[in-house]
Amino acid sequence: MAGQGTGLPIVAIVGRPNVGKSTLFNRIVGERAAIVEDRARTTRDRMYGDAEWNSRRFLLVDTGGLEIAPDDPIEAKVQVQARLAIAEADVIVLVVDAITGLTPADREAADLLRVAKAPVFVAANKADNAARELDAAEFWELGWERTFAIAASHGRGVADLLDELVLALPPESPAELARKTRQAEADEFAADVAAGRLEPFVVDEPEGDDAGDEPELGLDIDDASGDVEAAKWDAMLAAASDDEPPAIAFVGRQNVGKSSLLNALLGEERTIVSDVPGTTRDAIDTRVAWGRSEVVLIDTAGIKKRGKVASGSAADRFSTLRSLRAISRADVAVLLIDGVDGLTAQDAHIAGYVVEEGRGLVIAVNKWDAVEDKQGSTFDQYVEWIRHEAPFLDFAPVVSISAKTGQRIHRVLELAVDVWAERRKRVPTGELNRLLTTASDRQQPPVVKGKRPKLFYATQASVAPPTFVFFAREAGSVHFSYQRYLENRLRDTFGFLGTPIRLVFRERAGIRAERRSTKRRGGGGGGRATAAVKRGR
């Protein structure tokens, strides 16, 4: 999967203040972002979002949120946005206000965007009703064929806009196609098990007060279904273990030392060279020998030397965006933080995205040479502090390095490759269920709203990231704290250093009970943007 394509495409929302950019942004990514925030227990920066429409995923950016100086004149704001969008986006959505009508600032934004190679859509927002939709017609004057009347706050017209928008995206990257294949296989597998078409193994019912009234689950696998199962596992393993070397992305804020680290590792000033038009927007990949095989290093730093599109914090924001794009096609992200600054909100934001994407994570505390008054315990205290600041990253190994002196820089790659292997690890079903039996014997799921979930069995449906499906009664009532408990048991027993793991809970009717194969509970990919947008009349 490594080394090809550019990661998820970027769709930038541009427009003068108050036209409804952030409303549109929230309409498209809102629901999913809220779920992620909840899971990561962190307030996420709402300027970037992961969206999905008609099974195409893309990164959505509200460039309005990137404005740095609130009292800049509108023209200046629009210019910054437009330039950033032209430099970075695969599709641009210019939002205008149908109530106010065309303004000079709109015209200016439009003029700037005329040079963009990326397709431009005009969204005439606040077209709340049919009469306003007619008003929106004046924006045709700007000259873009893809002009849509929408009402972001109600969702009117947004579906039609998105239908066209996803068609204008560049083709899907091999990494994205591979991810989809894995996901589809895992879904199908889990659905088959849930429907009783596949029986992964025979379980001993965990003993409990109410064990007696459960339908029996210990069904013998007959030879035929055993074969089907074996074939399925093989297919999934094949999908998971393509021969591509680990792809490792160096991500982080501006000036944390990404290019210094890469140069130190490569031993040459490579990252500054490629200022080739057309290739510069994307991160640059280098294949390097590693032990007996290879790794691919994805550099998000080299590009910054070129694009003087903005400076200061707007540039920093965009370096975040480049990190996000690189993360979407890496196996493992090495998040560099500045040892002197410590973990900042922007760092946590990038790390949150790594978790969301299910990539491996190594946290490298750079500039360790510049951290003053170090003692024997300094590093441990530092790690403890990071754990405290960002508990949702507790699975990620931390290493202190200096790109300047070369201290421990090779350890970064060692850890990244370890994490890569952990991310692809597969736990045999028997072992997994021994763990489940012990874990649920020791502690039952708590009662939620009068319902006590009961876990019957589990299976690892996919790797990269490791994804476990638990079949349960009252699957929807497994409390977050109990999910954490199970995750911790899994990690205690099987490791999974540096990789997020996913737990999916599915309703499982007993085998003798009625088979409700069509009633699949929402698993991993649930709650995406799709639900947030209603088709207009």
Q: Which residues bind ligand GDP (CB under 6 A)?
A: 15, 17-23, 64, 125-126, 128, 151-153, 252, 254-260, 301, 366-367, 369-370, 402-404
- Please say which residue, 305 or 502, places its beta carbon nearer to ligand GDP: 305
- Please say which residue, 374 or 451, places its beta carbon nearer to ligand GDP: 374
Contact predicate 10/88, CB 8 Å: yes
Q: How far is the CB of 13 from ligand GDP (least distance, A)?
A: 8
Q: How far is the CB of 125 from ligand GDP (least distance, A)?
A: 5
Contact predicate 395/499, CB 8 Å: yes
What are φ and ψ of residue 87, in 5° steps?
A: -75, -30
- Please say which residue, 142 or 350, places its beta carbon nearer to ligand GDP: 350
**Paired residues of 506 in beta bridges:** 471
Q: How far is the CB of 135 from ligand GDP (least distance, A)?
A: 12
Q: How far is the CB of 383 from ligand GDP (least distance, A)?
A: 18
Contact predicate 484/379, CB 8 Å: no
Contact predicate 57/29, CB 8 Å: no
Strand order in the sheet with 360-366: 284-290, 293-299, 247-251, 332-338, 360-366, 398-400
- Please say which residue, 198 or 303, places its beta carbon nearer to ligand GDP: 303
Q: How far is the CB of 529 from ligand GDP (least distance, A)?
A: 16
Residue carrying structure tokens 């501006």: 254
- Please say which residue, 127 or 165, places its beta carbon nearer to ligand GDP: 127
For residue 88, the one-letter residue type is E
- Please say which residue, 404 or 520, places its beta carbon nearer to ligand GDP: 404
Count other Cβ atoms within 10 Å, centred on residue 219.
Answer: 15
Q: How far is the CB of 330 from ligand GDP (least distance, A)?
A: 16
Residue carrying structure tokens 């991993």: 524
- Please say which residue, 20 or 498, places its beta carbon nearer to ligand GDP: 20
Angle at CA of residue 411, ends 406 and 417, nearest 5°: 135
Q: How far is the CB of 23 from ligand GDP (least distance, A)?
A: 3
Count other Cβ atoms within 10 Å, centred on residue 507.
Answer: 16
Report CA-CA distances (Å) from 381 to 93, 120, 375, 387, 401.
46, 50, 10, 10, 16
The closest alpha carbon to 365, from 396, 390, 337, 394, belongs to 337
For residue 512, give the 3-state DSSP assignment.
coil
Spatial separation of the C-alpha atoms in residues 46 and 24, rounded to whole Å: 12
Spatial separation of the C-alpha atoms in residues 2 and 173, rounded to whole Å: 10
- Please say which residue, 79 or 181, places its beta carbon nearer to ligand GDP: 79
The closest alpha carbon to 101, from 217, 214, 19, 3, belongs to 19
Q: How far is the CB of 534 from ligand GDP (least distance, A)?
A: 13
Residue carrying structure tokens 């920066």: 45
Q: How far is the CB of 473 from ligand GDP (least distance, A)?
A: 43
- Please say which residue, 292 or 537, places its beta carbon nearer to ligand GDP: 537
